[in-house]
Structures are given as C-alpha cells and as structure tokens.
Structure 1
Amino acid sequence: MAVRERSLPDGGRSRLERRRGFRRHNLDKISREAVAWFAIMHADQVAKSDQLAFRAWLRRDERHRVAYADIERLWSGASELPVVKSRRREKRIAVTRRTFGAGMLAAMAGGGGWVAYQQHPFADYRTSAGERRTVRLADDSSVDMAGATALSVDFSSKLRLVTLHRGEAYFSVAPDTSRPFVVEAAAGRTMAAGTAFNVDYVSDDDVRVTVAQHAVDIRVAAEGARLDAGSQLTYGRESIGPPQAIDPASELGWRDGRLIFISQPFGRVVASLNRWRQGRLMVMESALAVRPVTLIVDLQKSGNILATLEDTLPIRVVNVTPYLTLLFAA
C-alpha cells in the first residue's frame, strides 16, 4: 500500500529526491525519516547543509533521537530490543519500526549472517562492494580479495600474520617453513606453511575455511583441527565444525566471476551477495534466513542480482531506500 510522500524537515527532502528509486512505504513516518537520515549520514560524502539539517531533526523531537538510535544499533547488531512477532496478511506487508528491528534481530540470531558493516579505515588493503583485487605480499604470497573485504598484514622474522577484518579472501602461500603463514579471522587462526586456501568471514560465528591445495591447521581457543585439500569447515567463537568434502571449483567460483550456492542457508547467500552489489539486502525472517537455497549468480551481471532472486525464489522485496532492501518470505 502506497504512502503519500512527505518531505523531511530542514531541506532533507531535496537530498532524498536525488536518490532515484526511493520507496518510503511500509514504515511509519519517523522510522522512514530515521532510515533516510542514516543513509545520508553514512554516505561517502556528507554535505555541511545535511549535517546541520540532521542535527536540527534530532533536536526537534525526542522520538527522532530514539528512532535513529534504534536504526544504528540494529545496523551494528548491538541492539538488545526484544523480538516482536508480527502477523502479515497474505497480500500486505506491514512493517513498523519495532517489527523492522525485530526482523533484523531475528535474521542475525537465526543464522542470517549479518555482521556489523565496518569500513576498517586503517586496514592495509580493502575492496569496495563488487570489486576484486589481487595483492602480492612481501614474501611473494598472493591474496585474491572478494568484494567488501578488508585485511591487514603484519610480517615478522618468525611469523607471517594476516588479519581478515571482514569479507572473503583466497591465499596462495609461498613456502617458508621457518615462518608460518597465519590468517586470523574472528576467534580463529588458520595456519599454513605453503598452500592455497580460502577464508570466508560472514560473522564471528560463521567463518568458513576451504582448502584447495595441501593442508592447513585451524585453532579456536583450545580446540584445533587439520583440514586437507578438497575439504571445508566452519568455525565460530568457541568451536570448530566437522570437515566436509567439497568441490573447490564450485565453492571458490567467485574467483572466476560466479557465485555458486548449493543448498546454502538463504541468510548466508544474502551475506555473500552483499559483497557484490551496492546497497544492503536484509533477510527479515529467521525461517527464511535458514531456508536452503540453490542459486548461480553471474558477477558480470551483479546489477541483476535482485531481479534474479525475485525470479527464482519465493520472496517479497521491499525497497526502503536505494541502499536498503528488505526480504520477506512470499
């Protein structure tokens, strides 16, 4: 159901009107304004006039401060708001500020793969969404970085340490038995002497390691595991999952311009897709987040990702802003 457009106070509307495709239905007025201001204030460049207008908007009504704080907490995954169950009629999606937040929390808690989106401005190497980059390290190892990835390098005479802050990277490690090569991601460490492996950091409880050549050793707290070529495992904050045999060509298809998902939880699929498109997709229901999905995506046509999802999966799409799209079960 369409909602008549209303302008934001203090000149906010003029900025929003330049954001083509902005759809403000399905959220209450204050929530729509809070989401819109969040998008404006987190743009690459924020005009001084927008900063002043935003501060005036916050001062105008205490509810504005509360709504904006909710959006910030929900986006970062730090909110402790209770999950609110909502009923949706067959032909209508009703989203209020509380159910908007509840949906995001459910997706995070239910395996949706949502993590705080951080720029990591002090990382040594970064890629933006949709960008691929190959980095040659000082020891002649190389790193293929997927979109929206950030990592830092700290080499010493005894250790070659790479910290993966977010995203996904494929490491081709130059042999050096005197200096182990370690990739730190969340609570775990993956160690190799000379090999090729991939680390996919979706969240602190969902880090997936795939070995293409030789073997690696993985450690989380006091637990350790060895992973051989053609195998994959996932670890979290406190434990390591069992190894599984996989096809590296399929699992690492992003290096060849394809994303291949075979019976993967939809929340994890969406987390991967977010690395390859502008804006954020958010799964709004925990049951949808864990639903297994089989999908192949051509990264050369990343602009068609949303259309591909709509055509192949039983989902409903709500565009809140050009930078935020909510996904519901149909």
Structure 2
Amino acid sequence: MAVTTEADRERASDEAAEWLVRLREAPDDQANQARFAAWRAAAPVHEAAWTEISQAFELIGEPLARRPQTSSESVPRLRRKHVPGLLAAGIGIALAASAAMLFLPGWMLRLEADFATAAGEWREVTLADGSSVELAPLSGIDVSLKDGRREVRLLAGKAFFRVTPDPERPFQVEARNVRATVLGTEFEVSLDRTGTGVAVAEGRVRVDGGALSRVLAAGRWLQFDAAGGLRDGIRSESEIGLWRHGEIVAHDQLIAAVVNELRPYFNGVIVIASDAIARRRVTGVYRLREPVEALRALARAHGDISVTQVSPWLVIVSAD
C-alpha cells in the first residue's frame, strides 16, 4: 500500500485550491473538467483535499459539486478583478487552508518531528554532537544521535547543516528515498511537493538515491524530481542556503517554482490562476520575509501579471 506523506497532502491541498480557481474561471470548459476529473481520480489524497475545500465553501453558503461537473452543470464563476467574488473564494480557501495548516504543516509536523517550524518561522538548533541545523519555515526533522550513529530525517521543508567532523561517525541526512552522507561540511537538504534536493556550500557530500550514488563538491547540487527525473548543476556557494538571510535568487526560473519557494513564508494560500502563468519564467532577487511584496516584484517583471491579496490568508497571481 502506498504511503501518503505530508508532502503529498500539502501538494494535494495546493492543487485543490488551484483547481477551485480554474473551475470558477472557466465553468464551461469541458477539457478542463476532464482534467479535473482525472486529477480527483488519480489518488485518494486528491479527493480528500477537494472534499475539504468543498465543505469550506458550503460553510459560506456556496456549495461546490462533490463529483466532476457534467456539461449541464455550472460552476460558480470567479469574476476577474471583482472583489466580492474573489473575497468569497478567499473565505472558502482560507477556511480549507486553516484546517490544513492546523493538522498538517503545523500540528502534525510538530507531533512527528523533534524540531519543527511554523509558517514564516526560522529556527536554529544545536545538536548534541555540536553540529547545527537551521530550519526554514514549515520544516521539520527527526534526530537520532545514539549507538554510534548520527542520523537526521528531514520530514518536510528545508534544512541547512553545519556538521562537526567525526570520522568514526558519519553524519547522514535522509529525505524521502534520498540519503546524504558527510564527515564535516555545510550543505542544504530540501523536501517538498516538487522533489528532494541536496546542495553543498562547503566540503563534500555523498548522495545516494535509487541506483544513483554521487559525490558532490562545493557549489554542486542535485534535484530528484517527484516524477522520477534527475537534475543537477552548479551555483555560487553564497546562494546555497541564502534563505537563511531572508532572500532567494531566481535565475530564469518558472514562476511556479518561485511561488513554491515563497509559500512557506506566507501564512495562508498562494494560488496561481493558470498554467500559462505558472510556466512563465522570471529572474530576480526576492525577499522572503515579505512574500506578498516579493510576488508583486515578480509580477512587475511581466507587465500583464497582477497580484491580488483578497484576505490576510489568500493571494491570487493572475493575468490582467
């Protein structure tokens, strides 16, 4: 039986919110309806996420169908740039998001992890062996330093490690099915709905994942995509773990990827209104401590994209 992870639930919650906006934008688009039906049927976690957001809408008196729409059914339309319509969507998504944040990124993560952070929270932990770990928002780790072992399991988010050398006890970090092994170095491990990544700021790290085993030197990174793909590359060592200083640098990245980086720093839901916007690319430096302003800076790079904050918990990135 496949195990549903927190990353799976987080991804499903985000996708359900995005489907809500798409369906309300194009209620008569049968191709869109077919894709939505396929998404719901693909995994039980998808149906659970959609049920949650449907129930939230019923609470505000605007029911959504429990099943895929047929051509004779209508989906309440989200009127572009009309605040009352957006606000209704915002209330529904915020209710669903609040429930998700209560049980998943917040309380559930804290129940499972030895050390965890909430949305918008940074935390530095010194381990018993003298090594230190800096956690990004919505991140959590389990730590085992006993029986001659030094093992850390990343449950969600991002962690930056400064490892105290001990040749007799290699330091290992596991994230999903990826393991990073070091003797003494500085490196980052990330785990989210897009996949698992390892990037080395100093020293050397051996990365094992599936049939792959590779040693990364400073400035090298590997990304195991959730779909099974593998990417690697080189970046400036100063950019690895830059989130610890409240910034990220995007080099010709998809808007979807940049928004995914910003989500843990916003205490609510960020929705990209269309795949066309998500696939566009952007380059820039963005401030994580001000995620809404970072989104607006991203939008300014494209004259036809706007950012609308319709409640403290909901931001929508859409086309003008």
Distance of 1:263 and 1:209 partners within structure 2: 20
**Higher helix fraction (1 or 2):** 2
Question: 2:96 aligned with 1:126, yes or no?
Answer: no
Is there any run of 5+ residues in structure 1 with no aligned partner, and where?
A: 1-23, 29-33, 40-53, 71-79, 105-115
Mapping of residues 1-330 of structure 1, within 5 Å: 27=24, 35=53, 38=56, 64=63, 67=65, 118-119=105-106, 120-122=109-111, 123-203=113-193, 205-237=194-226, 239=228, 241-302=230-291, 304-313=293-302, 314-319=304-309, 321-330=311-320
Summarize the Cα distance change of 1:247–1:81 in structure 2 as closer, same or farther, 3 Å threshold: farther
Q: TM-score scaled by structure 2?
A: 0.65
**Unpaired stretches in structure 2, ≥5 consecutive residues:** 1-20, 26-51, 94-102
**8 A contact 1:132–1:144 mirrored in 2:** yes
RMSD across aligned C-alpha pairs, in angstroms?
Answer: 4.0
8 A Cα contact 1:186 1:237, kept in partner? no
What letter matches 1:163 in structure 2? R
> Which residue identity does 1:150 align to in structure 2?
G
SS for the counterpart of 1:179 is: coil
- Tell me the SS of whatever aligns to 1:287: helix
Equivalent position of 1:113 in the other structure: none
CA displacement at 1:141 relative to structure 2: 0.5
- The amino acid that maps onto 1:256 is H
Is 2:282–2:301's contact at 8 Å kept on the other side of the alignment? no
CA gap 1:327/1:260 in 2 versus in 1, 3 angstroms: same
The one-character-per-residue Cα deviations of 1:155-195 (angstroms, maximum 9, x if unpaired) are 22232121111111110011122222111112211111211
Do the aligned partners of residues 310 and 219 (structure 1) sit closer, same or farther apart at CA in structure 2, a change above 3 Å counting? same
Counterpart CA distance in 1 for 2:124 and 2:209 is 28
Change (3 A) 1:284 1:81: farther
Q: Which has the higher contact order (CA 8 A, sep 6+)?
A: 1
Measure the CA separation in 2 of the matches of 1:294 and 1:117.
32
Distance 1:195 1:322, change over 3 A: same
Aligned-residue identity in percent: 28
Question: TM-score, with normalisation over the residues of structure 1?
Answer: 0.63
